[in-house]
Amino acid sequence: MKVLAVAGVSPLAPDFETADYGLAAGVSVMGEETAVADFLAAWDGPVTNRDASKLTRVAVTGVTALVRATAYNMEQNGILWPAEDVGPVLQNADIAHISNEVSFAPDCPYPNPIGDATFCSRDNTFALLEHLGTDVVELTGNHLNDYGAENLVRSLGM
């Protein structure tokens, strides 16, 4: 089963209203009018299978590396530039998980959009992870030690 947004309305949204959702299915009780009225008056069960208090929205990114062309564009267009499209998804998640491929290094050079295969992220780009509301940073990338283990340890502190 998959939860689908229909016409911009998602059951995962905190302000979801069943009446606005195109895939909502009603359930009714049929029978003698007084029996139905008695049943409905006595019913103390749920009126929907959705309990907002039990929902947790988790957003998981693929590999993220604030290097090369991405980092260059961040320098040109603002550090928060990558968040223009993905920001609301990650910010509205209860848990935002980002797989970060590289460490932050104080001596990381200005990004070269075509660059080589040795990666680091400049400290100022860390503001993007903060802006996105990052809760979990996965550190399984194979470029985490490109600028030395000390920068990996330093990045953990950040």
Structure confidence at residue 36 (pLDDT): 87
Structure confidence at residue 45 (pLDDT): 85
What is the number of other CB atoms lying within 10 angstroms of the CB of residue 12?
A: 15
Structure confidence at residue 140 (pLDDT): 83
Cβ–Cβ under 8 Å, residues 109 and 156: no
Q: What is the CA radius of gyration of the chain?
A: 24
- Give the tens place of pLDDT for each residue, 82-101: 999 999 999 999 999 999 99
Structure confidence at residue 154 (pLDDT): 96
In the chain, where are the structural domains located? Answer: 1-51, 58-157
**Spans in the chain with pLDDT lower than 50:** none
